[in-house]
Amino acid sequence: MTVSEPFYKKSTLILLGIILLVYVLATLSDILVPIAFSLLLAILLNPLNSRLMRLKIPTVLSIVLTLFIALSVLGIILYFLSSQIIQFGEMVPALKTKFAQILTDLQNFAETTFGVSIQKQTQFLKDTASSGKALVGRTVSGVLGIFSLLFLIPVYIFLFLLYKPLILNFLFEVFSTRNTQSVAEILHETKSAIQSYIVGLLIEASIVAVMNSVALTILGVPYAILLGVIGAILNLIPYVGGLVAIILPVLMATVTQEGYTTQLLIIGAYALIQFIDNNVLVPRIVSSKVQINALISVLAVLLGGALWGVSGMFLSIPMVAVLKIIFDRIEYLKPWGKLLGDQIPASYPGQISPDAKVPATNERTEKVVDSDDRNKPH
C-alpha cells in the first residue's frame, strides 16, 4: 500500500491488522502469558548471569546458578510466610463459625429494616452460590495453571538466557544495515527500562508490605504479615490492586473482631499508605524511564485485564513502555510515542494565543452592512 492511498483504505487495513493481532493474543494467551513473564524475568536476571559468566563460569552452569539463586530468594520469602499460612489454615473452622454468625445478624437486620424474609434471602444466596460454581471451576483451573507456570517459566528463562546471542543476532539481521544503530538503541533502552521498572516494583512492594504489616499488627488484625504481603503483591497491579488489597484485612477484622472501629482504622491506614506510595515511593523508586501518562496507564491496565486477566494487568505497563521506546525511534510513529508519554506540551499547532485580538462580530457586521448600503442604487 502506497502513501497516496486514501485514508479510509489505510485506516481499514490498520484496524483489521489490530483486530487480528488482538484475536491471536487472546487465542494463544495460555502460551504467550508464560513466555511474556519469562522474557521479563530473563531480562531482570541477565545482569546476574552476565556477572557469573565474567567469572569464567560456563554458560549453562552460570544460567543454572542464576535460576538457583532466584528460586532460593523466592523460597526464603515463602518460608517466612509459611507459619502464617499454617496458622490461617488451623483457624478456618473458627472463621467459618464467626462468619455464619455475622451472616445471621445481617439477615435479621435485612428482615427488620427492609422487610425481606429470611427464606427469600436464603434462596437468593443459594441462587448466587449456584451461579458461582463456574467461577469456582475457573479459579481451580487457574490454580492448576499457576502450577504449570511455575514449571514452564524456569524452563523458558533458561532458554532465553541460553539463546540470547542467537535472538539478538536475529533482531539485528532482520533489519537493514542502516537501522543497526536504531535497533541497538531500542534494545538497550528496552532492557534498561524493564530492569529498572521491575527492580523498582520489587523495592516498592517490599516497603508497602512492611507498612501494611506494621499497620495491621498495631490494629490487632490476625495474620497481619500474611495480609500485608498479599496486599503488597496486589498493589503491583496499577490503580486496581491497591483497592482490592483493602478488602482482605477488612473482611478479616469483620470476622474476628466486634464492632466496626477496626475496619474504619484499616481503611484509613491503607489510604495513608496508598498516599505515601503514590506520591513518594512510585516517583522516586520506580524507574523514571517508564514515562507513561496516567490516562494511558489506566486504559492499558483495563485493556490488559480484558485480554489476559490479572496477568495482562501486570504486563500492560511494561508492554506500553516498550511500545513507547519503539515509537520514539521511528519518525512517523513519534506522535504516538508523545501520546503515550507524560510530557504535556506548553502549546499546540492551531492554538489561539490569549493575547491575540479578534475583531468583534458587531464591528465586522457593521462594515459589511455599510458596504452593502453603498452598493445599493439610490
Do the beta carbons of residue 240 and residue 313 sit within 8 Å? yes
Do the beta carbons of residue 250 and residue 262 sit within 8 Å? no
Do the beta carbons of residue 9 and residue 128 sit within 8 Å? no
Q: Which among 211-220, 272-281, 316-325, 331-340 has the top mean pLDDT?
A: 211-220
Asked whether residue 166 is domain-assigned, the answer is: yes
Asked whether residue 289 is domain-assigned, the answer is: no
More confident residue, 106 or 169: 169
Q: What is the 3-state secondary structure (H, E, C) of 239-291?
A: CCHHHHHHHHHHHHHHHHCCCCHHHHHHHHHHHHHHHHHHHHHHHHHCCCCCC
Q: What range does the domain containing 31 cover?
A: 8-104+134-174
Asked whether residue 302 is domain-assigned, the answer is: no
pLDDT tens-digit profile of 103-141? 787 778 777 887 777 777 777 767 665 554 444 444 444
Tell the residue number behind the cell numbers 508519554, with chain if given.
Answer: 341
Asked whether residue 280 is domain-assigned, the answer is: no
pLDDT category at 197 given cuts 50, 70, 90 is confident
In the predicted structure, residue 180 carries a pLDDT above the cut 50: yes
pLDDT recorded at residue 136 = 41
More confident residue, 300 or 356: 300
What percent of the chain is modeled with pLDDT above 70? 80
How many whole angstroms separate alpha carbon 262 and alpha carbon 271?
14
Count of the separate structural domains present in the chain: 1
pTM across the whole model: 0.70
More confident residue, 156 or 87: 156
pLDDT tens-digit profile of 62-102? 999 999 999 999 888 888 877 777 777 767 777 777 777 77
How many whole angstroms separate alpha carbon 62 and alpha carbon 48?
9
The amino acid at residue 260 is Y
More confident residue, 190 or 39: 39
Alpha helices in 91-117 (DSSP H): 92-114
The total of other beta-carbon atoms located within 10 Å of residue 159's CB is 14
More confident residue, 229 or 4: 229
Asked whether residue 167 is domain-assigned, the answer is: yes
Q: Could you give the C-alpha distances from 64 to 11, 55, 376, in angstroms and in order?
A: 48, 15, 96
Asked whether residue 338 is domain-assigned, the answer is: no
pLDDT category at 157 given cuts 50, 70, 90 is very high
Asked whether residue 58 is domain-assigned, the answer is: yes
pLDDT tens-digit profile of 207-242? 999 999 999 999 988 888 888 988 888 887 766 677
> What is the rounded average pLDDT of the residues 48-61?
91
Asked whether residue 154 is domain-assigned, the answer is: yes
Cell numbers found for residue 131: 451461579
pLDDT recorded at residue 142 = 46
